[in-house]
Amino acid sequence: MAGRGRAWRSGAVGLCLLLLPLAGCGGGQSSTGAAMAQVQQVLDRRAAAVLGHDEKAYAETGTRSPYANLRAVPLADWSYRLTALRPDGAGATADAQLSYRIQGYDKAPVTTDRTLTLSRTADGQWYVTYDKPAKKSAQQLWDQGKVTAFKSAHALVLGVGQSGAVLRGYARLADTAVPEVSKAWGTDWTRRVVLLVPGSLNGMAGLLGAPASNYRGIAAVTTGEAGGSGQAPADRVILNPEAYAGLGSVGRQVVLTHETTHVATRAHTTAATPLWLSEGYADWIGYLDTGRTPTEAAPELARAVEAGDVPEDLPADQDFGFTDDPTKLAQAYEGGWLACRMIAGHWGQEKLGAFYRAVGAHKERAGAVEDALKTELGTTLPDFTARWRDYLTAQLGS
């Protein structure tokens, strides 16, 4: 999760102003510190109850609805770190960082900021009345309702508002995708995926912390850390059930295989990797063995080529933005796919994988594609682009 910066003021006056919401400048600091220690203890008990599957102990710390919603999630770790407490009469509002790890999937914890409201009884006992994402923080799946879990050979599927049969269907798609990706890319990855299936497009947007309009018509996205430092949790494939429902059986498999490819290649996908390569490669694996022809898989680009409008250059990163122009977005994906298909067809599948890795290994974006084209494919960017334009005409023209 992205961190948030904060500008601190220097000097005694600035320090006083920062402390005023908690205790003021004076003798109240010790009482605020004591309150924070007490609230932290409540959060620690709450976390222990989650991990111990102790609903009674959880209820003793406050509202029990979050526990009921996340009960099915297989957790290895769950903890809160209180960062601020703002007393308000008999209660308080707290800022806390939640860290959790899914058993068997996350190498490092997911961290997210939460805002909690608390009340205090007459005898001074604190308890949680509400726990929600902090401002500008994305929702977690259990914020949207009761989570149902289904685990298969290669996938953990977590859903809200979805039947067991639907989740099993997604798991079957993932179990087909993982071996297909490994066959093309290799086995140097976890070969497991975590799928999150919210109940709606709005639910998907909530998990991503972005407007729903950004993802309308997008069947799935994959979140994760580029470069694979090992210090981040596993990728999450987040599905849009509304867009997914409009796909046929082949389309559903292509989408899941595409997203699984992003999980597999994450360690070799860096800031040096252009989107035409990362998205094109994911589509290339997604369409393998589907029998789809170039004109069937790239209809928007085919129409452009038929009209004599052959792109001058490979798709730029900005062409992949979720905008109000779905045709431009589709053409970007199709152009990237055909570039990767051309490499596999002319230089071979192994060279395509080596090219992908070589680009990602570059220290910066500038020169990454050019150097990899030279070392892996023995060509230059102008020659490659010209070959790609000819390939589009040959594959998509009448």
Least confident of 2-11, 261-270, 290-299, 376-385: 2-11
What would the two tokens of residue 21 be? 């919401």
Given this structure, which CATH class describes domain 12-137? alpha beta
What's the pLDDT score for residue 16?
26
**Alpha-carbon distance 245 to 318, whole Å?**
28
What's the pLDDT score for residue 345?
97
Q: What is the pTM of this model?
A: 0.89
- Amino acid identity, position 297: A
Residue owning tokens 């008990």: 45
CA dihedral 233→235→236→240, nearest 10 degrees, is: 150
**Alpha-carbon distance 248 to 223, whole Å?**
24
What's the pLDDT score for residue 30?
60
Residue ranges of domains in the chain = 12-137, 138-266, 270-398
244: pLDDT strictly greater than 80: yes
264: pLDDT strictly greater than 60: yes
CA dihedral 17→22→24→26, nearest 10 degrees, is: -120
CA dihedral 306→311→312→317, nearest 10 degrees, is: 180
Contact 80, 43 (CB under 8 A): yes
What's the pLDDT score for residue 104?
94
What's the pLDDT score for residue 324?
66
pLDDT tier at 89, thresholds 50, 70, 90: confident
For residue 277, which of 219, 381, 355, 385 has the smallest C-alpha distance?
355
DSSP for 151-170, please give it: E-SSEEEEEES--HHHHHHH
**Alpha-carbon distance 272 to 366, whole Å?**
7
Least confident of 322-326, 338-342, 365-369: 322-326
Query: At residue 233, what are phi and psi to the nearest 5 degrees?
Result: -70, 170
What's the pLDDT score for residue 232?
78
Q: Which strand (E) or helix (H) includes residue 66?
A: helix 65-70
pLDDT tier at 141, thresholds 50, 70, 90: very high
Contact 60, 44 (CB under 8 A): no
Contact 146, 156 (CB under 8 A): no
Q: Residue range 253-259: average pLDDT?
A: 97
Beginning with the edge strand found earlier in the chain, give each strand of the sheet holding 91-102 in spatial order: 75-88, 91-102, 110-120, 126-133
What's the pLDDT score for residue 1?
37
Distance from the first to the final alpha carbon of the chain: 48
**pLDDT tens sequence across 213-240:** 888 889 999 998 777 666 678 899 999 9
Mean residue pLDDT of the chain comes to: 90
Q: Look up the CATH number of domain 138-266.
A: 3.40.30
**pLDDT tens sequence across 119-134:** 998 888 999 999 999 9
**pLDDT tens sequence across 156-169:** 999 999 999 999 99
**Alpha-carbon distance 198 to 209, whole Å?**
13
**Alpha-carbon distance 215 to 209, whole Å?**
11
